[in-house]
Structure 1
């Protein structure tokens, strides 16, 4: 079976499942090849907190036997998967990327992990994140630095840093991250991935929180849809989850017709960092692809204000300050210095200010829904800037600029609307540029269909050629 990387590790999940069904490949063969990639790249990329290839081998052998009987456990049986370290796995410590934390060791796995295992997914391990998930990079006081498979001098983005590195680097096709303000889509834009921040409540969590979701980081819309169909199955532990919906085959065989779709194009977030010229050009070119196919593309002005962004940042700082204060003085010293400064900056913020911050977040939610209601889809940058130094905790380095990079992403966490990322170009020096595709709340399928359509119609120059090693145990 041909594939661009010349090895099974480069196949998509949909291709792997087809190869298992035809017996062209087995889950054990694929795991061996993925393990070879991990062995070669992990010392540099640093994507894993807890890698367990022995357990993965046991799961792959069981999957192989099910495929021999033509009785797969589910739609991703035998496919390698990773999960972010804050998605609990029974018996695996959860330090939240923070050297100051005494890790919780769950006795039961999170809903996402249980759904993956029930469907036969082969979990390779848990991927890393920065301290408390509050950095948009791969810098962690506990794990060190996670690096881009495209260029190890560059960031992965965060906070789903390890998941992003694993996805782009060929550690299997399916990876689950979490996102509270951009933590799935930011690795998406800085690593060229196709990702989805689902509608609020679409994927059950055991620790739901305002704006937080779990979702797929993949190399194709088809894989993102496949993974969503598995992890969106209901779980009673999430009291905020949406009513159960059988997503079935998320991407129908009939391709999307974008002609007549109402598409908003937003190129000004209204707050935060200025938009990089090359990002602007790439997103505008992506919108032209939709327009050329008959979509009604219209400009959408900014709807998030600098005050809303400041208030959201302060709200998160106070939340993390309470976690910081719960640590012993010695443990606080082990927290990443950037995070120490970030939380201590709000030491004097009082309760009334926090309530005003919360009211501001509700205003942002209302503004986002109102501004986007006229459109079937909204296209925008994921981030205003491209990938930065791997050593930097934030896109500007060690300075405190709040959350100046999430003006395009955070509104959809607060409104609960689905928002995806997909690569739409490269800078002159080869860095990836992501397009954000958002939709109305609950229309995760519509967003994924639009991304799938765009992947099929984008130019060759905008299509990633994944940085997966060419050699390996490829089998035809």
Structure 2
């Protein structure tokens, strides 16, 4: 049975467009129809405007008929996270406390998508200010996980992960400052790369903040890296542009032979790794060994003090931001986020300094721990996806980040780190494997992830809408 158009990869779609066997208009219709069947249940999208989607698709069709495509993804559907500005659209940042003012310009990732001809399907949902690893938001409807709609898709790139898993076209863009593309990717069974800091220009830049592709395959992520990594001088933290051969992401399973692989099974802080998660990652490591890699155990390098310090600094940052809001506006923020931020009100200057210093200590510890290895394997999260209605696995604003011990160090060390599925729980929830590389080795991480795609066990079919009944999207 041939794949539906909405399930095809970006390279496959571009090839069909080039051969004039399929039109971007047909693909847009297929994706919009699939969204209608799914969106009522998973609430992944914001600003879905079918008329604008079709207008973009018709313009792309005209370019292809003239043999003049704009770029690598002309006519390919793309979603963009709420907090990445798109010209003329409000950016609520997931919270009802934001004034809805149209953005004056595209942020760098959105600008690259338009320059390369991508069809922007919609924005995707996120929690308040991106400060939760769930889809709980005071502005957006509650996002849910397509694999089990009682579970969260994760966050803060909640809608992007749900949209990718549900098959809303091939390309989705999220952001990550402590795990916000990798955690939802792991819980939704998709692929993502949190690139080296500055590899993808972003605006506004911030310590540890990166944009990244969220896709069903490494191939699609490689295409999106080619698009998004082009230079933009608005990002004061961006890397000098490199002409990286992203198309060389597939070097086969021989890529694994002789690699020195570190296996990190304990984060050193936060929640304990659940047995099913640990077992899945251990099985992955064994498969890497059979493919010729040399796998060695790693000791935890994070500490609870490092995690707590970053948490308290982020609390103070949010406390300062929210303190500037009128009382009635601040009251619209999720109570969990309010409680979390307000807890920092009494911190002294010394306490804030000591908290901030943990970012640097985390960076140094991560780089030193990874130095003996080419790549590091670990769980993405110590736990599988949790209840959709919860803001975090602990549901405790005083212990909000206990699940990010494996992901956050690579934001601070600026190393590329991917999430890719490596198994399922007994109840059918995906389990994410994190593959981290040395700073700047983004292509290498993609190559190792692609090799893992080739040697891992057969994947379960992607989830389908609960019924064929069509529920019209609000």
Instruction: Using structure 2 for the length normalisation, give the TM-score.
Output: 0.96
Q: Unpaired runs of 5+ in structure 2?
A: 470-474
Contact 2:250–2:450 under 8 Å retained in 1: no
Q: 1:252 to 1:267 in 2, by over 3 A?
A: closer
Q: Deviations over 1:433-458 (max 9, x none)?
A: 00000000000000001101101110
Counterpart in the other structure of 2:350? 352
* C-alpha separation in 2, matches of 1:209 and 1:47: 25
Contact 1:265–1:297 under 8 Å retained in 2: yes
Equivalent residue of 2:47, what SS?
strand
* C-alpha separation in 2, matches of 1:351 and 1:103: 34
* C-alpha separation in 1, matches of 2:107 and 2:359: 28
Counterpart in the other structure of 2:394? 396
Q: Does 1:69 align with 2:66?
A: yes
Residue number among 317, 320, 331 corresponding to 2:318 in the alignment: 320
Q: Does 1:55 align with 2:56?
A: no
Q: Unpaired runs of 5+ in structure 1?
A: none
Q: 1:464 to 1:13 in 2, by over 3 A?
A: farther
Counterpart in the other structure of 2:190? 193
Q: Deviations over 1:381-432 (max 9, x none)?
A: 0000001111111012355313100000000000000000000000011010
Q: What is the correspondence of 1:182-331 to structure 2 with a 5 Å cutoff?
A: 182-252=179-249, 254-255=251-252, 256-331=254-329
* C-alpha separation in 1, matches of 2:19 and 2:456: 31
Counterpart in the other structure of 1:8? 5
Equivalent residue of 1:144, what SS?
coil
Q: Deviations over 1:103-153 (max 9, x none)?
A: 343211101001001001000111111000000000001113101111111
* C-alpha separation in 1, matches of 2:468 and 2:291: 39
Contact 1:266–1:380 under 8 Å retained in 2: yes
Q: 1:341 to 1:329 in 2, by over 3 A?
A: same
Shift of 1:466: 1.0
Residue number among 456, 462, 467 corresponding to 1:466 in the alignment: 462
Shift of 1:332: 1.3
Q: What is the correspondence of 1:313-462 to structure 2 with a 5 Å cutoff?
A: 313-398=311-396, 400-460=398-458
Could you list the structure 1 runs, at least 4 aligned residues long, displaced by more than 4 angstroms after superposition. Answer: 469-472
Greater shift in the superposed pair: 37-46 or 335-344: 37-46
Residue number among 75, 87, 94 corresponding to 1:78 in the alignment: 75
Contact 2:222–2:247 under 8 Å retained in 1: yes
* C-alpha separation in 1, matches of 2:48 and 2:41: 15
Contact 1:380–1:408 under 8 Å retained in 2: yes
- Aligned length in residues: 467
Greater shift in the superposed pair: 39-48 or 302-311: 39-48
Greater shift in the superposed pair: 415-424 or 69-78: 69-78
Instruction: Using structure 1 for the length normalisation, give the TM-score.
Output: 0.96
